[in-house]
Amino acid sequence: MTIRTLLTFFLVATLAACGGGREAPAPKQVELPRYSGVLSTKQAKQLFGAKAAGSAQSPAPYGSYSKGCLAGGAQLPETGPTWQAMRLGRNRNWAHPETIDFIQDLSRKAARQPGWNGIYVGDMSQPRGGPMLTGHRSHQSGLDADIWLRPADNLNLSRQAREDISSISLRRANGAYTNDKWTRQHHEILKAAASDPRVARIFIFPGAKVRMCNDEKGDRAWLRKIRPWWGHHYHFHVRLACPPGARGCVDQSPPPAGDGCDDAQRWVNNILNPPPPDPDAPPPKPRRELTMADLPQQCASVLSAR
């Protein structure tokens, strides 16, 4: 199959996917742009974003968290006994089945915390993973999930309420400290998530990591997986390792040895006392946009599968 034929196939498939279940009109002849044999990033985002359901393939994450896709994605049910999926209009409550299982396990543990009936689940992945039209650069292989930091005290929210309600921020002083909404329950839920052997790392704002380092008096091994990162004060971001036997899945390098508390404290120190800018530092280069050629070859079959 030539590249031009493949482009035409993808374009027709996208138009059909956008038909909303109605009989699609006969496709018009469209002059395809020339991209030297690859699709532009914009087209890749549109193709993945247009897919309303996972592919009828065996579950498999391909590539890395920020350059990948997901075959055989599973959908987290919108509401369960101990969770609710939020922002349903985004259709990002899809993931590898292992991620779905992890979310459900964590929600049951969260429901045992005072004031929590479970968890509110934010963005996971698109039905077939891949680059998103907006937002995240990661969440592409079905192994990432955002968990809201707002206590899930009401698990009977309507679809509209889930669009309107917001999470809560737990940071103070631009992330150097936690604010008065931080509770011991947050500590315990993050600890439960990090203690799951399937989890590779968890991202949260630096002040929260330092707070947990100061408060933890028992086993500290789980703290290694908690990594400080900008933002992440309305939710924490869980990243699972590649499931056993997932050929074609690329793991992130493991975090450095130790509990990572000194590193988190350096983040906080730099927030409170920012180092002076380096006058000799070159200006940052614009981030190069991804093309389909940057993604694993399997992603073409993920897009074209039923």
H, E, C per residue of 73-89: CEECCCEECCEEECCHH
Spatial distance between the Cα atoms of 306 and 296, rounded to a whole number of angstroms:
19
Indicate if the pLDDT at residue 222 is higher than 90: yes
Three-class SS state of 199: strand
Res 42: pLDDT: 54
Strand, helix or coil for residue 62: strand
Would you place residue 40 in the very low, low, confident or very high pLDDT band (cuts 50, 70, 90)? Answer: very low
Alpha helix locations (H) across the chain? 3-17, 41-49, 97-110, 159-164, 184-195, 206-215, 261-272, 298-304
The DSSP bridge partners found for residue 84 are 79, 120
Residue 244 has pLDDT above 60, yes or no: yes
Interval 100-119 mean pLDDT: 98
Q: Which CATH topology does 59-277 take?
A: Muramoyl-pentapeptide Carboxypeptidase; domain 2 (3.30.1380)
How far, rounded to the nearest angstrom, does the alpha carbon of residue 180 sit from its chain's CA centroid?
A: 27
Distance separating alpha carbons of residues 149 and 138, to the nearest angstrom: 20
In this predicted model, what pLDDT tens digit does every residue of 151-210 receive, in sequence order? 999 999 999 999 999 999 999 999 999 999 999 999 999 999 999 999 999 999 999 999
Report pTM.
Answer: 0.85
Q: Which residue has the higher pLDDT, 136 or 202?
A: 202
Please identify which residue in the block is written with the tokens 């450095």: 256
Look at residue 70 and tell me whether its pLDDT is greater than 80. yes
Q: CB within 8 A of 219, min separation 6: which ones?
A: none
Q: What is the model's pLDDT at position 14? A: 39
Is residue 253 a contact partner of residue 225, using CB atoms and an 8 Å limit? no
DSSP 8-state assignment for residue 196: S
Q: Write the DSSP string, 99-165.
A: HHHHHHHHHHHHTTSTT-SSEEE---B-TT-S--SSS-SS--SS-EEEEESS--------HHHHHH-
- Amino acid 294: pLDDT: 84
pLDDT band at 21 (very low <50, low <70, confident <90, very high): very low
Q: How far apart are CA 103 and CA 110, in angstroms?
A: 10
Name beta bridge partners: 175. none
107 or 9, higher pLDDT? 107
Two tokens at 178? Answer: 């936690």
Q: Give 272's contacts (C-beta < 8 A, 6+ positions apart).
A: 173, 176
Selected residue with higher pLDDT from 111 and 44: 111
Q: How far is CA 108 from the centre of its chain?
A: 21
Domain boundaries, the chain: 59-277
Question: Picking from 79-83, 86-90, 130-134, which range would have the lowest pLDDT averaged per residue?
Answer: 130-134
